[in-house]
C-alpha cells in the first residue's frame, strides 16, 4: 500500500514538473513507419524499471532496494538541457534549443539519492553508486565522492518523493542477519544490485524502442521440463557394452541419488573417460530443481571443450535452451533466424536455462564494473555453477575467484560444482610460500563420488613412465615414428613446430598449436578424430601444445608428454587408451634438452617432482599432495591485489579492480590470417565496415602474435590495418596449412594457454 501512495506523490510531482517545463518529460521517443511519434514518459520508464528491478532483486531478498534504484535512476532526465537534447537529436522537435552544454543525467540521480537518504556508506555503495554510474560503469569510491558532492544542476527540477528509508533499512538489516556477509562480500552485493538496475533499464528501453527484439526474449523451458530430455538421452546410451560404460552408468546413478542436497560447494572427481560431463549436468539439473534454482551455468577454460560440450547439450535439449557464449562462437551460424536472434539477445544477460561459457567470460563479468558485462550477474545468482576442469583455475587469481563463488553461494543462493579428473584443493586454509600468503577457501567441499567407488583404480588404463635422459627434437620425432598411432604434447608453440618439422612429410602427421587459427584447429581436430575412429588402423602421429589436453575427446594408444605439473600429465594421459581398447596405454614423460621451464609451468613441474619418489601418480590421494606442493610455491594468490581493492565496503575501487582482473594477460596482438573464408570476410569489412556478426566470423581466423613479431609484420608490409584495430596478413604464403602462421617464430617459445 505504501508504494501506491508513493507513486501518487510521484505522479503529482511529475505533473507539476510538466507544467514548469511546459512539455511532457520524455525518457524515450521514437517515430513509427507511418510518421507518428510515440513518447515514453520518464515517469512510465522509471516505474517500469522499478518494478522489474524489484523482481530481479528478490534473488537477494532486497526487492525494495531494486525498486528504489529503478524509481530514481533517471531523475536527471528532468534537466531542461537533457529534454532539449533528446527532442533535438531524435528529430522530434527541431526547434528545441539544444546548446553545446552538459546534458548528462545519471549523476543527478546519484546526488539526489545522497540528499534524500543521507551519506550513509550503505546508501552510497548500494544505491548512489549504481544510479550515478548506470551508463558509464561503477565508480571508485573517491571518484564517486567527488560526483555526489556536486550541487544539483540549476536546470534540474526536483520532485517530491516518499521517504522509504525505513523499509530499506529493514530489508538490509534482515539481509545482514540472514547471511552474515563478510567485508569482501559487499562488492558482489553492490554489483548484483547494479545488475538488477541496468538489465531492467536495458530491457524496458528495448521493450519501447524495439518491440520485435523484446518479443524474442523469455518463454523458454524450465529445468524441470529439460530433465526428462537428458534422462532419455542417457537411457539411449545405456545399452552400450563394456566396463567403461558400466562405470559411467554407476557415476550417473550416484549423481541422481545425491542431487537432492542443500545449496553448497560440491566436487565431482572422475578420471578421464568416466563420463563426468553428462553426469555433472544430470546432478546440476536435479540439484537445481530440488533447491528452486533457476539455471545451470557451465564454465570451461578452453574454447575447444566449449564447442564440444555445447554441441552435445544442444543435441539433447535443443538449440533454443542452450546458450553458447564465448569469443569463438558466432550466433549467425544458427540457421533458424528466430533462434539466431534470440541467442544474440541472450548473450547480453544470460536469460537461458543452460549457459555454456568460458571461465574468462564468467569471472571477468563478475569483477567488471561496466553495465554491459554486469547485466548478467543477477541471472548468475540462484544458479548452479559448474566449473569444468577446475584444476586450470589460475593460482594468481585464486583468492578473488573463490571469494566470488563463496559470495554468490552465501548471499545469492548459488551452488558450485567443481568437476575434473585432477581435483585441486579448494577447502580450508590455502597457504602459500610463507604464512602471510594465505586465504580461506570454502569451509567444506562435498565430494559426490565416495572413495569406495575406487574410480582411479577401475579407470586405470595407462602406465606412466619417465624417460631416463633428456631428449632432443630429433629424439622425440624418432620416438614418435616407432609407433603407428601416437600423440606428443609439448609446452610451447616453437617446440611443437620443431618436432613436427622432423616428422615424415605425409598425410599421417598433424600439428596443433595456437599458431593455427580457431577454424584451422577445429577442422584439423575433426580430421584427427575421423582417422582415429576408422577401423583400418591408419597411421597417425600428432604433436600438440596443451590445447589438446583437457576435454578433447580423442584416444591414442601411446602418449608422450613433456615434463609439467601432475595435473597436466594426467590430462595428457586422459588422451591415452581412453575407451579401454587395450590392456594398458603407454604414457612417457620426458624432458627436452636445453629447455628451461618458466613461470607457472616451472612451479607446477617442481611440485610434481617434489612428491615422494614412490608416489602413485594415478592414486586418488596424490593430487591433493601435489596441490599442497604447488600452493607452497605461490608468492601470491591475488597478484593484483583485487581483494584489497574491494575489501573495505566504504572504500571499494570497482573500476581499478575491473581493470586488473584479467585472467588472460594481454601480451600480444590479434591478426587475421589468410585461411579459409578470411579474405572474403575482409573484403566485406572493407565495403561495409565493422559489425558484430562480421567480427564474430573473423575471430575464427585470428592468431595472437607477440608485440615484436607484430611490429616486424607491419614493418615488412606483411600485415596491414584494414579498419581501425583490425590487422590482416594478406600473404597466403605466410600461413601454412600444416602449422599455421609462420612469420616471426623467434618469440613463440613462450607458453600460451588460452
Top pLDDT among 65 and 210 is at 65
Task: Please determine, looking at this structure, whether the domain spanning 2-216 carries the CATH number 1.10.3210.
Answer: yes
- In this predicted structure, the answer to whether residue 4 has a pLDDT above a threshold of 90 is no
Contacts of 171 (CB under 8 A, 6+ apart): 61, 62, 63, 64, 65
Q: How far apart are CA 663 and CA 439, in angstroms?
A: 19
DSSP for 237-280, please give it. Answer: HTT--SHHHHHHHHHHHHHHHH-SS-SSEEEEE--TTS-HHHHH
- In this predicted structure, the answer to whether residue 624 has a pLDDT above a threshold of 70 is yes
In which band, very low, low, confident or very high, does the pLDDT at 337 lie, cut at 50, 70 and 90? low
Q: What architecture is domain 223-453?
A: 3-Layer(aba) Sandwich (3.40)
| Per-residue confidence (pLDDT) for residue 42, from 0 to 100 | 94
Which set of grid coordinates corresponds to residue 318? Answer: 535443443
- In this predicted structure, the answer to whether residue 13 has a pLDDT above a threshold of 70 is no
pLDDT in tens, 585-618: 999 999 999 999 988 899 999 999 999 988 999 8
| Per-residue confidence (pLDDT) for residue 2, from 0 to 100 | 40
- In this predicted structure, the answer to whether residue 446 has a pLDDT above a threshold of 80 is yes
- In this predicted structure, the answer to whether residue 16 has a pLDDT above a threshold of 80 is no
- In this predicted structure, the answer to whether residue 744 has a pLDDT above a threshold of 80 is no
Instruction: Provide, rounded to the nearest whole percent, the portion of the chain with pLDDT above 70.
Output: 90
- In this predicted structure, the answer to whether residue 397 has a pLDDT above a threshold of 70 is yes
Q: Which of 377-386, 559-568, 736-745 has the lowest mean pLDDT?
A: 736-745
Q: How far apart are CA 703 and CA 516, in angstroms?
A: 7
Break the chain into its structural domains and give their ranges: 2-216, 223-453, 461-616, 669-747
- In this predicted structure, the answer to whether residue 170 has a pLDDT above a threshold of 80 is yes
In which band, very low, low, confident or very high, does the pLDDT at 424 lie, cut at 50, 70 and 90? confident
- In this predicted structure, the answer to whether residue 746 has a pLDDT above a threshold of 60 is no
Quick check: 382 and 672 in contact, CB under 8 A? no
In which band, very low, low, confident or very high, does the pLDDT at 1 lie, cut at 50, 70 and 90? very low
Indicate the helix (H) or strand (E) that contains 669.
strand 669-673
| Per-residue confidence (pLDDT) for residue 695, from 0 to 100 | 82
Mean local confidence (pLDDT), 489-505: 95
pLDDT in tens, 98-130: 666 677 899 999 999 998 888 888 889 999 999
Q: How far apart are CA 577 and CA 559, in angstroms?
A: 9
Q: Which long-range contacts (CB under 8 A, 24 or more apart) does 706-711 make?
A: 706/667, 706/668, 706/669, 706/744, 706/747, 706/748, 706/750, 707/667, 707/668, 707/669, 708/744, 708/746, 708/747, 709/743, 709/744, 709/745, 709/746, 709/747, 709/748, 710/668, 710/669, 710/671
DSSP state of 621: T
Which set of grid coordinates corresponds to residue 86? Answer: 533528446
Q: How far apart are CA 304 and CA 313, in angstroms?
A: 15
Domain 2-216 matches domain 223-453 at the CATH topology level: no
Q: How far apart are CA 352 and CA 349, in angstroms?
A: 9
| Per-residue confidence (pLDDT) for residue 17, from 0 to 100 | 41
pLDDT in tens, 139-164: 999 999 999 999 998 888 777 566 78
Residue in 204, 217, 196, 180 with CA at minimum distance from that of residue 59? 196
| Per-residue confidence (pLDDT) for residue 550, from 0 to 100 | 66
Q: Which residues pair with 467 in a beta bridge?
A: none
Domain range 461-616, CATH class? alpha beta
Residue showing cell 580457431: 518
In which band, very low, low, confident or very high, does the pLDDT at 454 lie, cut at 50, 70 and 90? confident
For all residues of the chain together, what is the average pLDDT?
88
| Per-residue confidence (pLDDT) for residue 331, from 0 to 100 | 57
Q: What is the pTM of this model?
A: 0.88
Q: Give the distance, in angstroms, between the CA of residue 603 and the centroid of all CA atoms in the same chain.
A: 26
Q: What is the dihedral of CA 138, 144, 147, 151, to 10 degrees?
A: 120
Which set of grid coordinates corresponds to residue 200? Answer: 531492467
pLDDT in tens, 641-675: 999 999 999 999 999 999 999 987 656 788 999 99
Top pLDDT among 708 and 192 is at 192
In which band, very low, low, confident or very high, does the pLDDT at 8 lie, cut at 50, 70 and 90? very low
Amino acid at each position: 500500500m505504501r508504494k501506491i501512495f508513493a507513486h501518487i506523490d510521484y505522479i503529482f510531482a511529475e505533473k507539476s514538473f510538466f507544467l514548469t517545463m511546459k512539455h511532457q518529460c520524455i525518457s524515450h521517443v521514437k517515430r513509427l513507419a507511418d510518421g507518428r511519434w510515440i513518447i515514453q514518459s520518464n515517469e512510465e520508464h522509471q516505474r517500469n524499471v522499478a518494478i522489474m528491478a524489484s523482481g530481479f532483486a528478490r534473488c537477494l531478498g532486497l526487492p525494495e532496494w531494486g525498486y528504489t534504484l529503478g524509481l530514481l535512476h533517471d531523475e536527471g532526465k528532468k534537466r531542461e538541457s537533457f529534454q532539449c537534447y533528446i527532442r533535438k537529436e531524435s528529430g522530434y522537435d527541431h526547434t528545441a534549443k539544444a546548446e553545446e552544454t552538459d546534458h548528462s543525467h545519471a549523476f543527478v540521480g546519484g546526488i539526489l539519492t545522497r540528499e534524500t537518504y543521507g551519506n550513509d556508506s550503505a546508501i552510497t555503495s548500494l544505491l548512489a553508486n549504481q544510479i550515478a554510474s548506470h551508463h558509464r560503469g561503477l565508480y571508485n569510491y573517491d571518484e564517486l565522492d567527488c560526483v555526489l558532492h556536486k550541487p544539483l544542476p540549476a536546470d534540474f527540477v526536483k520532485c517530491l518523493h516518499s521517504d522509504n528509508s525505513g523499509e530499506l533499512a529493514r530489508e538490509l538489516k534482515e539481509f545482514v542477519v540472514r547471511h552474515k556477509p563478510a567485508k569482501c562480500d559487499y562488492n558482489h552485493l553492490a554489483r548484483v544490485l547494479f545488475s538488477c538496475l541496468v538489465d531492467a533499464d536495458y530491457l524496458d528501453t528495448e521493450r519501447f524502442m524495439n518491440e520485435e527484439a523484446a518479443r524474442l526474449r523469455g518463454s523458454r523451458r524450465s529445468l524441470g521440463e529439460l530433465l526428462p530430455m537428458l534422462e532419455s538421452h542417457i537411457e539411449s546410451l545405456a545399452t552400450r557394452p563394456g566396463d567403461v560404460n558400466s562405470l559411467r552408468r554407476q557415476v550417473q546413478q550416484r549423481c541422481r541419488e545425491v542431487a537432492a542436497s542443500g545449496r553448497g560447494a560440491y566436487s565431482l572427481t572422475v578420471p578421464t573417460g568416466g563420463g563426468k560431463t553428462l553426469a555433472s549436468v544430470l546432478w546440476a539439473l536435479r540439484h537445481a530443481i530440488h533447491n528452486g534454482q533457476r539455471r545451470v551455468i557451465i564454465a570451461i577454460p578452453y574454447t575447444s571443450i566449449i564447442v564440444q560440450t555445447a554441441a552435445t547439450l544442444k543435441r539433447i535439449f535443443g538449440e533454443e535452451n542452450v546458450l553458447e557464449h564465448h569469443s569463438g562462437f558466432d550466433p549467425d551460424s544458427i540457421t533458424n533466424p528466430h533462434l539466431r536472434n534470440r541467442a544474440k539477445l541472450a548473450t547480453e544477460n544470460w536469460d537461458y536455462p543452460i549457459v555454456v561459457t568460458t571461465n574468462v567470460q564468467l569471472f571477468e563479468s563478475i569483477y567488471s564494473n561496466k553495465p554491459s558485462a554486469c547485466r548478467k550477474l543477477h541471472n548468475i545468482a540462484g544458479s548452479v555453477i559448474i566449473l569444468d576442469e577446475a584444476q586450470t583455475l589460475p593460482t594468481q587469481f585464486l583468492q578473488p575467484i573463490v571469494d566470488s563463488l563463496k559470495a554468490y553461494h552465501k548471499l545469492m543462493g548459488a551452488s558450485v560444482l567443481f568437476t575434473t579428473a585432477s581435483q585441486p584443493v579448494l577447502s580450508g586454509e590455502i597457504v602459500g610460500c610463507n604464512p602471510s600468503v594465505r586465504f580461506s577457501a570454502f569451509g567444506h567441499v562435498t565430494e559426490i563420488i565416495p572413495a569406495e567407488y575406487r574410480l582411479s583404480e577401475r579407470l586405470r588404463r595407462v602406465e606412466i613412465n619417465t624417460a631416463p635422459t633428456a631428449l632432443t627434437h630429433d629424439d622425440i620425432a624418432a620416438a614418435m615414428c616407432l609407433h603407428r598411432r601416437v600423440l606428443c604434447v609439448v609446452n610451447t608453440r616453437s617446440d611443437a613446430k620443431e618436432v613436427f618439422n622432423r616428422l615424415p612429410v605425409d598425410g599421417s602427421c598433424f600439428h596443433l598449436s595456437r599458431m593455427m587459427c580457431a577454424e584451422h584447429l577445429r577442422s584439423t581436430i575433426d580430421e584427427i578424430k575421423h582417422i582415429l575412429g576408422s577401423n583400418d588402423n591408419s597411421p597417425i602421429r600428432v604433436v600438440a601444445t596443451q590445447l589438446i589436453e583437457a576435454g578433447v575427446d580423442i584416444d591414442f594408444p601411446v602418449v608422450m608428454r613433456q615434463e609439467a605439473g601432475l595435473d597436466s600429465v594426467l590430462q595428457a594421459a586422459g588422451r591415452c587408451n581412453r575407451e579401454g581398447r587395450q590392456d594398458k596405454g603407454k604414457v612417457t614423460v620426458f624432458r627436452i634438452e636445453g629447455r628451461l621451464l618458466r613461470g607457472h609451468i616451472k612451479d607446477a613441474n617442481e611440485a610434481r617432482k617434489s612428491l615422494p619418489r614412490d608416489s602413485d601418480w594415478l592414486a586418488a590421494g596424490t593430487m591433493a599432495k601435489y596441490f599442497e606442493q604447488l600452493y607452497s610455491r605461490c608468492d601470491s594468490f591475488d597478484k593484483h591485489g583485487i581483494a584489497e581493492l574491494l575489501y573495505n565496503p566504504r572504500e571499494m575501487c570497482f573500476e581499478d579492480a575491473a581493470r586488473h582482473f584479467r585472467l588472460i594477460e594481454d601480451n600480444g596482438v590479434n591478426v587475421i590470417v589468410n585461411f579459409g573464408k578470411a579474405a572474403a570476410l575482409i573484403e566485406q569489412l572493407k565495403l561495409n565496415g565493422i559489425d558484430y556478426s562480421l567480427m564474430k566470423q573473423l575471430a575464427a581466423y585470428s592468431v595472437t602474435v607477440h608485440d615484436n613479431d607484430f611490429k616486424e609484420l607491419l614493418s615488412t608490409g606483411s600485415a596491414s590495418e584494414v579498419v581501425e584495430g583490425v590487422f590482416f596478413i594478406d600473404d597466403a604464403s605466410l600461413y601454412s596449412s600444416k602449422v599455421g602462421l609462420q612469420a616471426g617464430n623467434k618469440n613463440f617459445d613462450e607458453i600460451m594457454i588460452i
